Structure 1
Amino acid sequence: MTLPLDVSPDRPATIHDVAALSGVAASTVSRALSTPGRVNFRTRARIEAAAAQLHYVPNAQAKALSLGQTRAVAVLVADITNPFYFDIIRGTQLQLKAAGYRQLLVDTEESTEVEVNTAEQLRQTADGLILTASRLSNEALMEMAAKMPIVTINRDVPGVPSVMLDTPTATNQALDHLISLGHTHIAYLAGPETSSSSRRRWEALSAAAEERQVKVVRLGPFAPRTHSGAAAADALVHSGATAGIAFNDLIAIGMLQRLRERKVRVPEDMSIVGCDDIFGADFCSPPLTTVTAPVERAGRDAVTMLLSQLNPGYGTTPRTHAVLPTHLTIRGSTGPAPVH
């Protein structure tokens, strides 16, 4: 093989030099060096020989050497005790490990102040951030993205790479499910005021309820924890609604417990819908009807998106936005509207 004419000690070899020397496309070189199993043996051997001859250093490694990269990515979650985050953490961990990165896990305690301060500190110890259900403002996230590579999960901010779970669509499925059972007065048990996911679901529910000519009221906000379920259940009973759609499964599970204490039967007297389909949602009494989302995949996609920023040669088609589908899983906590 003959060296490209413009390769010299003063100009390090690029992925295009390796491609030219080995007679393949640059994308094939990228796959051969990042995921060798996707390229046949002979082509891979030719690419590896060309890379060795040119003393080629892949982008991520070159940047790490010249810019002091840590090969670590921080994953920020709002509440590490919330089972919703378990699958996200597993997805990010597995994808980062496969790419040779370490995961730094941070619990921001549902606090915007903790989230901002932690992100600022991590600029020195992590190459990038994945923020799950961030409580920061759009402006704060855009400012953060200008300082270092970030990807958000469940936050849609202009100019900031994101992975979205399409829970509003499945929440509307829940509304249609309840309407089909005869419910015409339904309540939404909202999450934190700072939660953009809660706002998006309420906006979708409000619009859908107006189209379907049923009454939907917003109650709350409630902290996204099981102990908030008691207050949410009391508010639901007081509202006169016959069904409630909770911001998340933890609130819904707490509601089931409180309704049982109040001798309100589920689903005979009241129907309950959750969101997230966390571990244990099908173990409740009754099992919880809930919105199911590909949560682990969201974690994996967020890592792939972030690594494409850190290393432009990573993966095939770099993305800055992904929307993952969700669906309603119907179980025993919903039933026909009571006849008064």
Structure 2
Amino acid sequence: MPATLTDVAKRAGVSLATASRAFSDPGRLAAETRQKVLSAAEALGYATQTAANGVRTVAVVVPDISNAVFAALIKAIQERAWPGRHRMLLADTGGSEDREREHLASLAGSVDGVILCSPRLPAADITKAAGGMPLVVINGEADAARVLMDAGEGLRQAVEHLYALGHRKFAYVPGPASSWANGQRAATVKRLCEEWGVDLVTVGHQNATVDGGLAAAAAVVASGATAVIAYNDLVAVGLLAGARTLGYHCPEDVSVVGIDDLDIAAAAEPGLTSVRVAIERSGSLGLDLLLEQIAGRSRATEAVHLGSQLIVRGSTFAARGATALRSGKNGDPT
């Protein structure tokens, strides 16, 4: 059986993401690391898909093409596909399970493979609709190769950061109920708040948009939380605007943290503290794994988790009364 990228990564002693980067974005790796990967590839007889397997047509299915996260994913996939002149077909489901199912069923047999981003369908339905065609899922559950943008480490840093600033009551603003990422992020925030002894309020599910954040602002303000973690940066920016219309200001009255670290996070006023996830890496690695399946190589059997980190900007600041909290007053631990 031909060597896979996973085989190369194991032989070189690096992660699958690092092995992929050696071919797709070598300038981001240390010369020594890249050489390890290339040497392992040569020893195993691994050939990159862009050179070895001809032009392919792949479909990319997303729930919302207007969302900057999916725009960045699409761009990363296109950039990775360009050297091999692979063609890309794009489908937008509008977040609808029915449309997602119909797209998958109609694509079977008409494209070489599919990258399904943030699916809304249950795993069993994805498998049935895909009909055995090569498939990679980004941020979702499925019986398929998966690439996951894991926000866990960045969220741990965020909770620790907010706690150090004296915040003891948090709010979490969730995204769509059918989103895998939302389920993971909500569960992680809940677990971390329990570990740190922080009071957590979760408001109702929102669209993953600026309007979703605007809609949640009143509930967040009414909760009495002094710090908020939002499902994504768009929701966080909406919260900033919504809080202002209600007479609250960030970060003086409430600290806000987003997730994704989109360009809008740096441009927001104040700059948005955000958990940076590996959006571009997910796209390029997803295509690498799909091309391996199309070429008849063994499918990845374990999900690839790509890490995250907190990027601190002006939207987080010391909580009201934080000096008293740190000095051990009001019965709170130092």
Q: TM-score of the superposition, structure 1-length normalised?
A: 0.78
Aligned-partner Cα distance in 1 for 2:94–2:69: 14
Letter in 2 for 1:141: I
Kindly indicate whether residue 73 of structure 2 is the aligned counterpart of residue 91 of structure 1.
no
Kindly indicate whether residue 239 of structure 2 is the aligned counterpart of residue 255 of structure 1.
yes
Match of 1:168 among 129, 139, 152: 152
Aligned-partner Cα distance in 2 for 1:295–1:238: 33
Cα drift, residue 313 of structure 1: 5.7
Aligned-partner Cα distance in 2 for 1:34–1:112: 32
Cα drift, residue 319 of structure 1: 6.6
Tell me what 2:95 maps to: 110
Cα gap change, 1:188 to 1:15, in 2 (>3 Å): closer
Cα gap change, 1:15 to 1:296, in 2 (>3 Å): closer
Paired residues of 1:151 and 1:163 also in contact (CA < 8 A): yes
Letter in 2 for 1:160: A
Kindly indicate whether residue 190 of structure 2 is the aligned counterpart of residue 213 of structure 1.
no
Letter in 2 for 1:206: K
Instruction: For residues 263-306 of structure 1, give each alpha carbon's deviation from its aligned partner in whole angstroms, at most 9, with x where no partner exists.
Output: 21100100111111112211111010011112111100000001
Letter in 1 for 2:117: T
Tell me what 2:331 maps to: none
Paired residues of 1:289 and 1:329 also in contact (CA < 8 A): yes
Letter in 1 for 2:312: I
Secondary structure of 1:74's counterpart equals strand
Kindly indicate whether residue 133 of structure 2 is the aligned counterpart of residue 151 of structure 1.
no
Tell me what 1:335 maps to: 317
Aligned-partner Cα distance in 2 for 1:34–1:132: 21
- Residues 114-263 of structure 1: matches in 2 within 5 Å? 114-157=99-142, 159-263=143-247
Larger of the two Rg values belongs to structure: 1
Aligned-partner Cα distance in 2 for 1:155–1:168: 15
Cα gap change, 1:34 to 1:164, in 2 (>3 Å): closer
For the aligned residue pairs, the C-alpha RMSD in angstroms reads 2.4
Aligned-partner Cα distance in 1 for 2:50–2:206: 45
Tell me what 2:8 maps to: none
Instruction: For residues 227-266 of structure 1, give each alpha carbon's deviation from its aligned partner in whole angstroms, at most 9, with x where no partner exists.
Output: 1112211110011111110001111111111112222110
Paired residues of 1:305 and 1:319 also in contact (CA < 8 A): no
- Residues 26-105 of structure 1: matches in 2 within 5 Å? 27-28=44-45, 30-31=46-47, 34=49, 60=53, 71-105=56-90
Cα gap change, 1:73 to 1:222, in 2 (>3 Å): same
Cα drift, residue 71 of structure 1: 2.3
Secondary structure of 2:238's counterpart equals helix
Paired residues of 1:156 and 1:164 also in contact (CA < 8 A): no
Cα drift, residue 116 of structure 1: 0.6
- Residues 16-31 of structure 1: matches in 2 within 5 Å? 27-28=44-45, 30-31=46-47
Paired residues of 1:308 and 1:318 also in contact (CA < 8 A): no
Q: Which runs of 5+ in 1 are unaligned?
A: 1-13, 17-24, 37-57, 62-69
Aligned-partner Cα distance in 2 for 1:130–1:313: 17
Aligned-partner Cα distance in 2 for 1:329–1:288: 9
Aligned-partner Cα distance in 2 for 1:220–1:237: 13
Kindly indicate whether residue 253 of structure 2 is the aligned counterpart of residue 269 of structure 1.
yes
Aligned-partner Cα distance in 2 for 1:195–1:313: 30
Cα drift, residue 226 of structure 1: 0.7
Paired residues of 2:104 and 2:130 also in contact (CA < 8 A): no
Q: Which runs of 5+ in 2 are unaligned?
A: 4-41, 323-334
Tell me what 2:307 maps to: 325
Aligned-partner Cα distance in 2 for 1:35–1:119: 25
Q: How many residues of Structure 1 are paired with residues of Structure 2 in the alignment?
A: 284
Identity of aligned residues (%): 35
Instruction: For residues 83-103 of structure 1, give each alpha carbon's deviation from its aligned partner in whole angstroms, at most 9, with x where no partner exists.
Output: 111221111112222233201
Tell me what 2:327 maps to: none
